[in-house]
């Protein structure tokens, strides 16, 4: 499938999720490493991904990137600027980059991400990289979509109090201390190692990088690949994919129910849900609501 | 639900993208999803981006004086890639005498200095609504 066809299908998955089932059914089921990059705005996620793409390409691997930026809660418009950092790959036929707006999803991604990743795996890319919106502390959905999650941090992140907080800090398989060319990087790196050690977690998966000058990228990519291979050799990958399926199902269920909820007019929220479910069951019984 | 995607691109060598950013911002506030390429893009890079991002409209911001050559090249490549149905808007320092030539090349709208943002947004809407009624997606 060429880039144009893939791009058109992504648009369909995003705009007409009801058709996702038919589109994906026609494609073979295929798995490849799906790697998530998350972290606060401005820590260098896009620039880091740019370097990771270069590294994977030099090993002859093809790469698809989905980069999500936020939609406006007021206009629903969006400014999608992640690919600006990935310019040197625009003409490479082995690289496909797609910007995506979050469209109201709160987890740092976009509701159609599950379908889009399935599509990108099916059409044969060797790696799928996902960049979340710049997140704060609680946007953890990437954990359910990606097999390996890299949390990107940079100096100025805060002190150890931030490392102790629940949420985003907990979901990472790999911690990337980016901007190692800047001052303050060593102290963040040391704090992180110290924190992971006393938390009883694997302090090995902390990597110091500079997306600017490329240092540490080779090590980062090696760690990612090793980790994924480990997952694939054990039961871990199966578990992760099962979890992804469950969250995909939940997203579909929510969307389906929402459709019926919007048709319900009730003063009582509990009754509203009951009415929506009843309405949905009736429709399904007559075979009109089969999709989502 | 259909959401329109617009590519704002800076072809050529001029390094001034304030105008492109102001227009991108206005389109964002008008509810469009705007993809920005960044500075100094070749026509090839712009067309590849338009394909991967499956955009509904391309806006070229050109302040270098090379608008005729650059627009022509972009549109030629779009034809080659089979995406010539996507409307192309050009904005920037465009001498009025060049406007008919740009339209002849295949540019849909040309906006010179001082064009109100509201006019750009309105014409984007008009053109996009026209486009969807013929192509369907």
Predicted confidence (pLDDT) per residue in A269-284, tens digit: 999 999 999 988 888 7
Of the partner residues A8, A77, A83, the one whose CB lies closest to the CB of residue B27: A77
Nearest CA in chain A to B33: A78
Domains in chain B, number: 1
pLDDT at position B137 over 80: no
- Give mean pLDDT, residues A91-97: 97
pLDDT tens track for B72-120: 999 999 999 999 999 999 999 999 999 999 999 999 999 999 999 999 9
Q: Please check whether residue B51 lies inside any domain of the structure.
A: yes
Q: How confident is the model at residue A68 (pLDDT cuts 50, 70, 90)?
A: very high
pLDDT, chain A, mean: 91
Yes or no, beta carbons of B53 and A98 under 8 Å apart: yes
Contact assessment for residue A83 and residue B28, using Cβ atoms and an 8 Å cutoff: no
pLDDT at position A101 over 60: yes
Yes or no, beta carbons of B34 and A103 under 8 Å apart: no
DSSP A129: E
Q: Please check whether residue B48 lies inside any domain of the structure.
A: yes
Q: Please check whether residue B79 lies inside any domain of the structure.
A: yes
* A167: closest CA of chain B, how far (Å): 29
Q: Please check whether residue B12 lies inside any domain of the structure.
A: yes
Contacts with B81 from chain A: Cβ below 8 Å: 4
Residues of B within an 8 Å Cβ radius of A:
1-3, 5, 24-25, 27-38, 41, 44-45, 48-49, 51-54, 81-83, 137
- Give mean pLDDT, residues A103-128: 93
Buried b (16+ CB within 10 A) or exposed e, A230-260: ebeeeeebeebeeebeebbeebbeeebeebb
Residues 6+ apart with CB under 8 A from A265: none
Q: Please check whether residue B137 lies inside any domain of the structure.
A: no
Of the partner residues B25, B27, B53, the one whose CB lies closest to the CB of residue A99: B53
Q: Please check whether residue B24 lies inside any domain of the structure.
A: yes
Provide the domain limits for residue B68: 5-132
Yes or no, beta carbons of A81 and B36 under 8 Å apart: yes
Q: Please check whether residue B32 lies inside any domain of the structure.
A: yes
CATH number where B82 lies: 3.40.50.280
Greater pLDDT, B116 or A266 = B116
Instruction: Provide the pLDDT for residue B133.
Output: 41
Q: How confident is the model at residue B134 (pLDDT cuts 50, 70, 90)?
A: very low
Instruction: Provide the pLDDT for residue B33.
Output: 97
Nearest CA in chain B to A3: B52
Q: How confident is the model at residue A116 (pLDDT cuts 50, 70, 90)?
A: very high
- Give mean pLDDT, residues A89-94: 95
Instruction: Provide the pLDDT for residue A292.
Output: 46
pLDDT at position A239 over 90: yes
Share of residues in chain A with pLDDT > 90 (%): 68
Instruction: Provide the pLDDT for residue B1.
Output: 65
The listed CATH number (3.30.70.141, 3.40.50.300, 3.50.50.60, 3.30.43.10) that belongs to domain A3-236: 3.40.50.300
Q: Where in chain A is the domain with CATH 3.40.50.300?
A: 3-236
Nearest CA in chain B to A88: B45
Residue given tokens 């509990």 in the structure block? A270
Rounded alpha-carbon distances, angstroms, from residue A237 to A32, A203, A227, A234, B38: 11, 21, 10, 7, 37
Residues of A within an 8 Å Cβ radius of B:
3-4, 7-8, 10-12, 14-15, 71-72, 74-81, 83-85, 87, 90-91, 96-99, 101, 103
pLDDT at position B125 over 80: yes
Contacts with B3 from chain A: Cβ below 8 Å: 14-15, 76, 101, 103
Yes or no, beta carbons of A103 and B52 under 8 Å apart: no
Nearest CA in chain B to A9: B54
Residues 6+ apart with CB under 8 A from A203: A192, A193, A196, A197
Instruction: Provide the pLDDT for residue B65.
Output: 92
Contacts with B49 from chain A: Cβ below 8 Å: 83, 90, 97
* B58: closest CA of chain A, how far (Å): 14
Q: Could you give the CA distance from residue B7 to residue B38 in angstroms, rounded to a whole number?
A: 11
Q: Could you give the CA distance from residue A282 to residue A123 in angstroms, rounded to a whole number?
A: 37
Of the partner residues A78, A80, A90, the one whose CB lies closest to the CB of residue B45: A90
Contact assessment for residue A67 and residue A39, using Cβ atoms and an 8 Å cutoff: no
Q: Is B83 exposed, middle or buried, given 0-12, 13-18 or 19+ CB atoms closer than 10 A?
A: middle
Greater pLDDT, A241 or A136 = A241
Q: Is A106 exposed, middle or buried, given 0-12, 13-18 or 19+ CB atoms closer than 10 A?
A: exposed
- Say yes or no: ipTM exceeds 0.85: yes
Greater pLDDT, A58 or A108 = A58
Provide the terminal-to-terminal Cα distance of chain A, rounded to the nearest Å.
26
Cα radius of gyration (chain B)? 14
Greater pLDDT, A10 or B133 = A10
pLDDT tens track for A3-42: 999 999 999 999 998 899 999 999 999 999 999 999 999 9
**Pick from A100-109, B46-55, B110-119: least confident:** A100-109
Yes or no, beta carbons of A75 and B30 under 8 Å apart: yes
């Amino acid at each position: 499938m060429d880039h144009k066809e893939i791009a058109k299908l992504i648009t369909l998955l995003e705009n007409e999720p009801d058709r996702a089932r038919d589109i994906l059914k026609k494609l073979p089921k295929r798995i490849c490493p799906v790697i998530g990059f998350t972290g606060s705005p401005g820590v260098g996620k896009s620039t880091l991904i740019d370097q990771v793409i270069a590294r994977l390409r030099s090993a002859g691997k093809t790469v698809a990137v989905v980069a999500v930026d936020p939609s406006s809660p007021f206009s629903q418009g969006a400014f999608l600027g992640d690919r600006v950092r990935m310019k040197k790959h625009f003409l490479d036929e082995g690289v496909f980059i797609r910007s995506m707006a979050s469209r109201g999803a709160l987890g740092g991604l976009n509701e159609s991400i599950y379908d889009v990743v399935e599509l990108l795996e099916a059409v044969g890319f060797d790696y799928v990289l996902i960049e979340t919106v710049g997140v704060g502390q609680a946007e953890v959905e990437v954990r359910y979509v990606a097999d390996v999650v890299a949390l990107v941090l940079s100096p100025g992140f805060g002190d150890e109090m931030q490392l102790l907080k629940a949420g985003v800090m907990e979901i990472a398989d790999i911690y990337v201390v980016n901007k190692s060319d800047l001052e303050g990087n060593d102290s963040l790196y040391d704090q992180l190692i110290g924190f992971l050690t006393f938390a009883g977690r694997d302090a090995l998966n902390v990597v110091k990088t500079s997306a600017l000058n490329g240092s540490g990228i080779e090590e980062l990519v090696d760690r990612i690949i090793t980790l994924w291979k480990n997952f694939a050799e054990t039961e871990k990958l199966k578990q992760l994919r099962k979890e992804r399926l469950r969250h995909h199902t939940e997203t579909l269920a929510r969307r389906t129910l929402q459709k019926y909820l919007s048709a319900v007019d009730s003063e009582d929220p509990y009754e509203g849900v009951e009415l929506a479910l009843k309405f949905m069951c009736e429709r399904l019984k007559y075979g009109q609501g089969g999709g989502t | 639900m259909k959401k329109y995607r617009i590519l704002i691109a800076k072809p050529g060598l001029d390094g001034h993208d304030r105008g492109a950013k102001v227009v991108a911002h206005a389109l964002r506030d008008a509810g469009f999803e705007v993809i920005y390429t960044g500075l100094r893009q070749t026509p090839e890079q712009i067309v590849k981006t338009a394909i991967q991002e499956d955009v509904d409209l391309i806006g070229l911001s050109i302040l270098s004086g090379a608008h005729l050559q650059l627009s022509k090249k972009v549109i030629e490549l779009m034809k080659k890639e089979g995406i010539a149905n996507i409307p192309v808007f050009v904005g920037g320092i465009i001498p009025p005498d060049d406007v008919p030539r740009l339209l002849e090349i295949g540019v849909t709208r040309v906006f010179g200095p001082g064009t109100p943002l509201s006019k750009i947004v309105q014409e984007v809407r008009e053109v996009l609504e026209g486009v969807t009624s013929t192509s369907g997606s």
